Homo-oligomer: A and B are copies of this chain.
Amino acid sequence: MHTCTDAFDCFVSRVLPKRTGPETVRLFRTLGSHVHLKPDRQLHYPDDEPTLVFLCDGATKLVAHASDHREQVLAFHFTGDLLTLPAHGAHSYTLEALVECDLMTFPYAQFLQAAEKHQQVLTQLLERSTVSLQRSREKTLTLGRKSALERVSSFLLSMAERIGRGEGSEVKLDLPMSRRDIADSLGLTIETVSRQFTLLRDQGLIRTQGRSGVTLLRVDELDRRAGHLRVAA
């Protein structure tokens, strides 16, 4: 854990407003810590106070732990995402790297205090927090009321939106997470996830290349499988 100029600069350009004064930048620099994580390693953070994390580069999963070794992936994050790790309450949370990651961490309370004079930073935090809430609500619907096939279809569409590369009518994905992570995110088992992948492949809606490569061939049909009300044109 040391201060790395590159990661902090990345944070500055992506989160702070364009014309932030140098003394403010310096203030944020003193608050933040740069952390590099190897795949499968988790971020250690104080369990009594919330932490703000900016993911400069990489992909992570936020995991909640219940009793009895059960795990639930609450969210995946990718390069450029900003997230708040809550203090541990009835359950504990960990942030784990899916691939090599560079991140900047800040004590939440101090960050907020530093941001108070900079309305644009607050607005940005609020906006990103709203997006997270929105994603979390979509997930709630998925976990509460959808079948296995609908969950996997929703997952693929959501990933396409966030890390997909469109190629004509197709969307290519390089999933950084394992089948286990997907299962833990969708409230299913790896076997069930695998079976839905096979089903979608057999129906000609997706193609898979190796473990992580997925190509969405029929986004409109996937939308239908996902149980969405409005199907993208």
Contact = CB atoms under 8 A, between A and B. Distances in A.
Given A119-B116, A133-B136, A140-B143, A227 B66 contact: yes
A226 B89 CA distance: 13
Contacts of A226: 90
A133 B75 CA distance: 12
Interface stretch (A9-17, A121-129, A194-202, A205-213): A121-129
Interface in A66-97: 66-68, 70-72, 74-75, 84, 86, 88-92
A165 interface: no
Nearest to A226: B90
A88 B75 CA distance: 21
A74 B141 contact: yes
A193 interface: no
A229 B65 contact: yes
Contacts of A92: 229
B229 A145 contact: no
A144 interface: yes
Contact of A90 (B88, B119, B230): B230
Given A112-B123, A133-B133, A143-B187, A138 B228 contact: no
25 contacts: A64-B137, A64-B141, A66-B146, A66-B227, A67-B227, A67-B228, A70-B227, A71-B145, A74-B140, A75-B137, A84-B130, A84-B133, A90-B223, A91-B228, A92-B229, A112-B123, A112-B126, A116-B119, A116-B123, A119-B119, A119-B122, A126-B129, A136-B137, A139-B140, A144-B187
Q: Which 10 pairs across A and B sit closest by C-beta, in order of nearness? A: A144-B187, A143-B143, A136-B136, A72-B144, A90-B228, A64-B141, A72-B141, A122-B122, A70-B145, A72-B145
Given A122-B126, A133-B136, 11 more contacts: A67-B228, A70-B145, A75-B137, A89-B138, A90-B138, A91-B141, A117-B119, A119-B119, A140-B143, A144-B185, A145-B187
Interface of A: 64-68, 70-72, 74-75, 84, 86, 88-92, 112, 116-117, 119, 122-123, 125-126, 129-130, 132-134, 136-141, 143-146, 157, 184-187, 223, 226-230
